[in-house]
Amino acid sequence: TTFSTRNVNRSTNIRLATKKINGTVIMPGETFSYNQVVGKRTVEAGYKDAKIYADGGVVDGLAGGICQISSTLYNAVLLANLEVTERKNHTYTTSYVPAGKDATVVYGVKDFKFKNSRSYPIKIEASVSNGIAEFKIHGISEEKEYEIKILPVTTASIPYTTSYVEDATLAPGQQVVSQSGHAGYKVTTYKEVRYNGELVSKEVISNDTYSPMQTIIKIGPGIPVQ
């Protein structure tokens, strides 16, 4: 996945989380926990404030950006045909992966977990460079290796609303968009498994609902708030 290197705080958080995961070895039958491996996100650990989803919108929060790393890893895990045991979607859609392919994490509340369901150990190689977060999962080939496709399908669109808030610091009649809204969606994601081009299975791996984000417009005094 890609990110803007101009956002220094968010880039710092992404690098810290990636560094914690890089080199992790998972034995057959063992479960990987994102929160356990990455650890608690604290100021002491070097994490910075960056934009997160909270309180119905986008706000500053400690360790903003690390959900991009859990989402990037989630996609690598799916393509490696590993067993996902815990995963939750974001409240709103993200910019770095399509709806239905994200995995949000909140320390002590929401985790991303998967099991090494293969016959041999696997190793995660993770790197961040020039605005690209890349994850590779290495292991020994088994007798059958399958081709995996992850196919999100949007089943419904949820329209967003607009609210107006009076702001005494603005000039009378002045209007400023403080938050841009976007639609919400319902998404069903399928996992398609093929062997030598032949379809082996197709299953639903998630049904996700993403809330619409409201547009908020601040208006100067003197105009009735709608």
pLDDT tens, position by position, 36-78: 999 998 899 888 877 666 656 565 666 788 999 999 999 999 9
121: Cα within 13 Å, side-chain hemisphere = 7
d(CA 166, CA 43): 35
pLDDT at 196: 95
The two three-digit tokens of residue 1, written as one number: 């996945």
pLDDT at 173: 83
Q: Do residues 117 and 80 make contact, with C-beta atoms less than 8 angstroms apart?
A: no
Q: What are phi and psi of 16, to 5 degrees?
A: -60, -45
d(CA 116, CA 27): 7
Q: Collect the ranges in the chain with pLDDT lower than 50.
A: none
Inter-helix orientation angle 66-79/8-21, to 10°: 40
The residue among 34, 95, 46, 39 whose CA lies nearest residue 70 is 34
The residue among 133, 9, 95 whose CA lies nearest residue 60 is 9
Q: Where are the alpha helices (DSSP H) in the chain?
A: 8-21, 34-38, 66-79
pLDDT at 85: 98
User: From residue 46, how far is each of 37, 65, 215 by CA, in Å?
Assistant: 16, 13, 33
